[in-house]
Amino acid sequence: MKRFFYYMAALLTLLLLAPPAAQAAADTSSHLQMLINQQYRLSADYQPEELVSLSNYMPANSGVTLNRIAAEAWRELYTAMKAAGISDCRGVSGYRTYDTQVYLYNRKVNQYQAMGYDAVDAAAQAATVVAIPGASEHQSGMALDLSTSTAGLTEAFAYTAAGKWLKENSWRYGLILRYTSDKSAITGIISEPWHFRYVGKPHAEYMYKNGLCLEEYIQRLQQLGSISFIGEDGEPYCIYYSSYYNAAELPGQILGYSQAMATAGGFIISTLAPREPLFDMSGHWAESDVRAMYEAGLISGYPSGAFLPDRNISRAELLTLLARFYEQQQAPSAPTEAETEQAAPDGEPDEAADGSQSEASALPFADVDSGDYFYAALLTCQEAGLLGEHFYHRDETQPELILLRPQAAATRRDTALALAALLADLQPPDAPRQFADQPTMDAELLAAAQLLSEYAIMNGRPDGSFDGAANITRAEICACINRISKLFATATAAANGGA
């Protein structure tokens, strides 16, 4: 009877999650990136398609099978590893049935009970070492355990030539080191340097370069809706998360799709994005702000067409953007005929009253050169009062030097103080906002944060803090500047009689 209700519940879940008839139905057997863990488990009767003998692709124990796509990736990887002079490596455990998982898990529970653990503690401890039945990636046919002649399924594998090479290079072939010690609190599994999972090249590359485990990767996709980046191969990738699969609604070339989580709705859709401006902004929370900035000529994106909205912005990039915006706001209207006649001939700069040509003050930064792309922007920011003292950094080892640190990530504090300088003519708030981290904020930052919050330019975090030490992204700064642009436009219209 319990089994009957289980199947009825599963059927009801499928019906509730099914996409509308007008939308393209997805093949939910696709599971290249599917998250499988204690929270999202495979059913007892789940079995992957296209299982092949791994020994036809690389050295492996008899009976080890994998999904064909994963096995092909391992063949490519093993060929590259041999070319690097490493051949001592073999697959020892691939696909496992649900019944095998039950046996392995119960055996581990019994071992802990024999050591004196009670039933509850033994089960909990066993789950950190052996996956609960249904929670094992091995059932998907995408996971492989490896060994060498000197190290098996122990921490020693990490120190073998194969283990070291795999940790640094497996992502190039679409494989990830699935369980690491620094992610144990998230995955629920101890460090397993011998366990690798196939997820596909663009996904593995993004996870590796951003230090994410699979749980974190899918969570980020859910939060952002899409992730875009330029791969090591130079191609623009855009990965989408969607509650249903409909390729017709997405731009670019569909590379594949996958059920996002076992026993849950949602799909991960991989695309090769079209090489057009801001292709990766589709569906992003700051899309309208970024596109407005693009149309205003303030940003251009990367040569590939990507904007990479969630990448941190450097201090040099921040100041360059602020300078462009300031110059645009200060640009005079078309000159009158009399003004044109008084202008210096041939575009030469006007002379100062004493007959010398006017020059901007020299910049004091030891790490800035007049040939830097952002040098003119710094001069503009200096003249406009946007280059505040917070951009002046004293080197601890050489205190006589003043550094800009142009390539360092701009913080929310850097941004807030610079933006507040743009709004210096606005009235401060009558009832200043109180931030949760206010006791740690200096007076200058607090005043700037309260001003920006009053005019809905730059708000605090969901927890009530301002978080001035955090970095700011390209999307966030575009949103802030576009809001200021709208504020200035409204003020100008009001000054002109509401036109």
User: Active-site residues: which are they?
Assistant: 192
One-letter amino acid for residue 204 of the chain: A
What is the C-alpha separation between 236 and 29, in angstroms, rounded? 27
Q: Could you identify the residue written with the tokens 């360092």?
A: 408
3-class SS of residue 22: coil
What is the C-alpha separation between 381 and 386, in angstroms, rounded? 5
**Among 292, 282, 284, residue whose Cα is nearest residue 310:** 284
Cβ atoms of residues 226 and 240 within 8 Å: yes
**Among 272, 280, 332, residue whose Cα is nearest residue 311:** 280
CA 303 and chain centroid, separation: 20
Stretch (H or E) spanning 90: strand 90-93
User: E strands of 260-401, at which residues?
Assistant: 267-272, 393-394
* DSSP state for residue 281 in the 8-state scheme: G
**Among 267, 314, 269, 321, residue whose Cα is nearest residue 290:** 321
What is the C-alpha separation between 75 and 70, in angstroms, rounded? 9
Question: Is 63 exposed, middle or buried, given 0-12, 13-18 or 19+ CB atoms closer than 10 A?
Answer: exposed
Buried b (16+ CB within 10 A) or exposed e, 317-343: bbbbbbbbbbeeeeeeeeeeeeeeeee
Cβ atoms of residues 297 and 291 within 8 Å: no
What count of residues does the chain have?
Answer: 499
User: E strands of 312-450, at which residues?
Assistant: 393-394, 402-403
3-class SS of residue 52: strand
What is the C-alpha separation between 78 and 93, in angstroms, rounded? 16
